[in-house]
Amino acid sequence: MTENDGITHVLKKTFYLKVISVLTLSVASAAYTQTSFADDSLSTSGKFVDASIDGKQIHCSLDISPTYAVQSTDGQSIMVSDRGYVLKSDLKNCQAGSNLHVKNIPDGVGFLSDINVPQGIYISLDFVSTQPMLYLATVAKIGTKRNLINLDGAYIVGKSINQLKKAAFSTSGDAGSSIISPDGRYVAADGQIDCSQDAYPGVWDVSKNSRVFADTDACNALFKQTK
């Protein structure tokens, strides 16, 4: 085993211990977790996701046991595991007695932190340090692994672990901790919509593979839903 393989093994083990810790806490609190977004209430219990969507009560069985239920920034998907998600429209039309299939981003890109299915793009985070927890991001088209970003803060294949650590950033590391703009063009990998010079990793323009520098109002406008 090489030094990098050993580090990767330790990091993966740490991640799974973190997941186990979260699940243990969930069991200790009646095996029930709930997260609310606007008017939609989401919760998980066993293999089920319960939701109130547009006033309709949903009780839907998935083909895996969800770890959590976190809505994507665009409101069109529900992230249910480190790689898995379901479309909100499919959840709404879930049929009793059948298991809704959970779709997955590719293996080996870290864990899903936001997804925009209409724009065909997702962002995932992979940790490269555990003390403190530091992450790098992959921004890719759905169904692919190729990172569309090669800026500082992005996971770049071929770089050494020491190089990757120097470019890593801090964030909560939870599903939903990154933000994709409604049009899929802009990404805030750490969930902070900050286009200032001092921000890190800041906001990325995916189409140009570049940082965005703007004042607060202009920066926030990039992530607002247009009517």
Q: Are residues 138 and 72 in the same domain?
A: no
Q: Are residues 204 and 141 in the same domain?
A: yes
The yes-or-no verdict on residue 212 having pLDDT over 60 is: yes
Beta bridge partners of 116: 121
pLDDT at 28: 28
Confidence class of residue 188 from pLDDT cuts 50, 70 and 90?
Answer: very high
The answer as to whether 3 is a domain residue is no
Q: What is the arithmetic mean of pLDDT over 173-202?
A: 97
pLDDT at 53: 87
User: 79, 104, 129 — which closes off a domain?
Assistant: 104
| pLDDT digit string, tens, across residues 112-145 | 999 999 999 999 999 998 888 999 999 999 999 9
The yes-or-no verdict on residue 19 having pLDDT over 70 is: no
The answer as to whether 52 is a domain residue is yes
The answer as to whether 145 is a domain residue is yes
Q: Residue 124's CB: how many other CB atoms inside 10 A?
A: 27
Q: Are residues 86 and 149 in the same domain?
A: no
The yes-or-no verdict on residue 11 having pLDDT over 70 is: no
| pLDDT digit string, tens, across residues 40-97 | 589 999 999 999 888 889 999 999 999 999 999 999 999 999 999 999 999 999 988 8
Cis bond leading into 66, ω under 30°? no
Full strand arrangement of the beta sheet holding 210-212: 179-180, 186-188, 203-205, 210-212
pLDDT at 15: 39
Residue 167 lies in domain:
111-221
Distant-in-sequence, close-in-space partners of 225: CB < 8 Å, separation ≥ 6: 74, 182
Share of residues in the chain with pLDDT > 90 (%): 73
Mean pLDDT, the chain, as a whole number?
A: 84
Q: Are residues 73 and 164 in the same domain?
A: no
pLDDT at 40: 53
Q: Are residues 72 and 120 in the same domain?
A: no
Segment among 2-6, 30-34, 117-121, 181-185 with least mean pLDDT: 30-34
The answer as to whether 26 is a domain residue is no
pLDDT at 96: 87
Domain total of the chain: 2
What's the burial of 191, exposed, middle or buried (CB within 10 Å: 0-12/13-18/19+)?
middle
Confidence class of residue 20 from pLDDT cuts 50, 70 and 90?
Answer: very low
